A and B are shown apart, each in its own frame.
Chain A
Amino acid sequence: MMNDTILQVKDLVVDFNTYAGKVQAIRNISFDLKKGETLAIVGESGSGKSVTTKTLMGLNAENARIAEDSQLIFKGNDLSKLDAKGWQKIRGNEIAMVFQDPMTSLDPTMKIGQQIAEPILKHQNVSKAEAMEQALKLMVGVGIPEPKEHINDYPHQWSGGMRQRAVIAIALAANPDILIADEPTTALDVTIQAQILRMMKDQQAKYHSSIIFITHDLGVVAGIADRVAVMYAGKIVEYGTVDEIYFNPQHPYTWGLLDSMPTTDTKQGSLEAIPGTPPDLLYPPKGDAFANRNQFALAIDHEQQPPFFKVSDSHYAATWLLDERAPKVTPPAPILQRWQHWHDMQAQGV
């Protein structure tokens, strides 16, 4: 994997002005994305993961405001300062997006082949016939059977899985540097999910693109991501490589997420849930936003936001538990098992 950074998000703050007041959807996050890598952003509904991606596409609603000193450095340019025209050159061309619901995201009155050819015609100087030729190749690439026979089909003639392949073909059409996938398999059957994910990985390898993968499903992440950022209440609370997040999680919220994920060991009826609900981002709490739901919360968690503590060069977590003055807590048993596994992996030098 090449190591050059293609996208650098610095101090991103996004607010939404609503009748009720200012909703602080993204409360200062920073991350970077390297060429060819897959970064998964994980979090529950309302954690700000979708707003993050929409911000990267310039697709936020009109009442959204990006803070002045936020920076979204993509290939040396700050995306947060782009105007409408500038965004049109980026969208679908250098940064493309796969949407969540294939049943509603294709135009019902336009032939699918045409919809795939549209971004090609928009961004590349080719004839209509050439664009359709490329669309056909893309359809082959995303695994649509007998694409020649189906290029003039309308969306309602296709199943959800096939439509999502078409949506992915549209995203790949202009060979983007970054592919943003916002829960691309959530609306699909579980059996189709794996196929779609594998196909996305294949296409990523072919086009050398980077992927930002948004999901609430940690199970999906293991198979596709290189690195994981866990978001909660508009902040990143922990990030690291997939192995670090899975086997050496440090933030109690990450523990909760991993604990509530069914595994083959899960006994019937014993699936864990994180108690409570996320905070209201109209009035975000003073300290750690997760403190109220956190059984391991310290007094300081309610008072002061934790900084990022370094776990390794690639692994950081924002929890006061990592402060050297903090008492040692014992995480839930399944997390201890993961730690044990991590320990074994380290010992074997994996």
Chain B
Amino acid sequence: MTKYILKRLIILLFTLWIVITLTFFLMQIMPGTPFNNPHLSAQAIAQMNETYGLDKPLWQQYLTYLVNALHGDLGTSFQYQNQSVSMLIGQRLPISAQLGLQALVVGLVVGLWLGSVSARHQNSKLDGTLGVFSTLGIAMPSFIIAIALLYLFGYEWQLFPVSGWGDSFSETVLPTLALAAAPAAVTARFVRSEMIESLHSDYIELARAKGLSDKELVNHHAYRNSLIPVLTLIGPMAANLLTGSVLVENIFSIPGIGQQFVSSIPTKDFPVIMGTTIVYAAMLMFMILVTDVLTAVVDPRVRLQ
């Protein structure tokens, strides 16, 4: 197992290098330059380019970036002068990550519960109602859910603060719910279909023939078998949630990294684009690795291969 994880980590680093390379050169294809403020003189721009090393040949810039990145130096933001990208990410990522983690936990717990309830009452009215909600959860963009939550819980009933960060846990409730809706809906649908398939399998019929009750069938056999495929969902979902959401962070005025990620692109803040992309890619690959290891722990068929 250790050998397997090490191998995966090496592949992860290699993939990360490919991501860095592709992003680096793709950025150059974008039209315009980072310093296109009309008030800047040509001389000032030339000086800026020199300061940031943008006057050097591309391959040299690329090598410099790689070497620096290997030393943990991701450069300095163009947009926020004198602020290193590492610091920027260091300040903002934990906020997004906390929010994302809360949303992930809520989404998974609610999704698992709703999905298994639906599956056990397949084609009932309850199943139909839950189906409508999970379709809504998937179909509605998070910002609409966010605004609806804001209006109901923040304005109409005044149960939770409408915006802000860092003062109290209650501030995190509405953005967490807004972010959790889609993963909860996706998980619920997935768990439902996996559970239904499991409940109609031969091994459940054999277990029923042993005299087990419906509850025992679900708890001893159906759950484990239908949760294994769900694990594969968690990797991308976690990476997605932990790296922040522009819309939700904007609506609730949360100083997370999501907003940074997007605003760096039109301003061509190259170091920030690179830094956030690396973080996102690393997070995604790491989460997939974690779920693969988890799958191997839970599924005996994977463990021994």
Contact = CB atoms under 8 A, between A and B. Distances in A.
B203 A108 contact: yes
B7 interface: no
Interface stretch (A86-94, A201-209, A321-329, A332-340): A86-94
A119 interface: yes
Interface in A67-91: 84, 87-91
Nearest to B209: A97
Interface in A111-153: 118-119, 122-123
B220 A91 contact: no
Interface residues of A, number: 33
Contacts of B208: 59, 91
Nearest to A88: B211
Contacts of B301: 108-109, 154, 156
A87 B214 CA distance: 12
A272 B271 CA distance: 80
A91 B216 CA distance: 14
Interface in A140-177: 154, 156-157, 167, 170-171, 173-174
A123 B206 contact: no
B202 A101 contact: yes
Classify the interface of chain A: helix, strand, loop or mixed: mixed
A57 interface: yes
A123 B212 CA distance: 9
A104 interface: yes
Contact of B209 (A57, A84, A108, A156): A57
Contacts of A109: 224-225, 228, 298-301
Nearest to A101: B202
Nearest to B205: A59
A122 B215 CA distance: 13
B205 A105 contact: yes
Contacts, number: 80
Contacts of B29: none
Q: Chain B binding site: helix, strand, loop or mixed by DSSP?
A: helix
Contacts of A157: 304
B250 interface: no
Given A59-B209, A97-B209, A118-B220, A104 B202 contact: yes
B300 A156 contact: yes
Interface in B192-229: 201-203, 205-214, 216, 220-221, 224-225, 228
B209 A104 contact: no
A218 interface: no
Contacts of B209: 57, 59, 91-92, 96-97, 99, 171
Contact of B211 (A92, A104, A106, A167): A92
A110 B201 contact: no
A93 B211 contact: yes
Nearest to B227: A109
A107 interface: yes
A104 B206 CA distance: 10
B224 to A, nearest CB: 5
A101 B258 CA distance: 52
A134 to B, nearest CB: 14
A239 B213 CA distance: 36
A171 B213 CA distance: 17
A297 to B, nearest CB: 39
Nearest to A96: B209
Contacts of A92: 209-212
Interface string B290-305: 0000000011110010
B219 to A, nearest CB: 12
Contact of B213 (A88, A105, A110): A88
Nearest to A153: B300
For B203, B211, B214, B216, the residue with the greatest tally of chain A CB atoms inside 10 Å of its CB is B211
Name the residue in A90, A97, A123 with the highest tally of chain B Cβ atoms < 10 Å from its Cβ. Answer: A97
A119 B210 contact: yes
A53 B301 CA distance: 32
Contact of A107 (B213, B216, B221): B221
Q: Most chain-B CB neighbours within 10 Å: which of A92, A93, A123?
A: A92
A191 B210 CA distance: 29
Contacts of B298: 109
Contacts of A97: 206, 209
Contact of A104 (B201, B216, B224): B201
A166 B220 CA distance: 18
A348 B211 CA distance: 49
A59 B208 CA distance: 8
B212 to A, nearest CB: 6
B299 to A, nearest CB: 6
A172 B240 CA distance: 51
Contacts of A89: 211
A88 B217 CA distance: 12
Given A107-B221, A154-B300, A90 B211 contact: yes
A118 B210 contact: yes
B212 A122 contact: yes
B300 A167 contact: no
Nearest to B221: A107
Contacts of A156: 300-301
Contacts of A101: 202
Contacts of B203: 104-108
A97 B210 CA distance: 8
Contacts of B207: 107, 118
13 contacts: A57-B209, A87-B211, A88-B212, A91-B209, A91-B211, A99-B206, A101-B202, A109-B228, A109-B300, A109-B301, A119-B211, A122-B216, A174-B211
Given A110-B224, A156-B301, 13 more contacts: A91-B209, A91-B210, A92-B209, A97-B206, A97-B209, A99-B202, A105-B203, A106-B206, A108-B203, A109-B300, A154-B304, A170-B206, A171-B209
The 9 closest A-B pairs by CB, nearest first: A92-B210, A92-B211, A104-B202, A91-B211, A154-B300, A119-B210, A105-B202, A107-B203, A105-B206
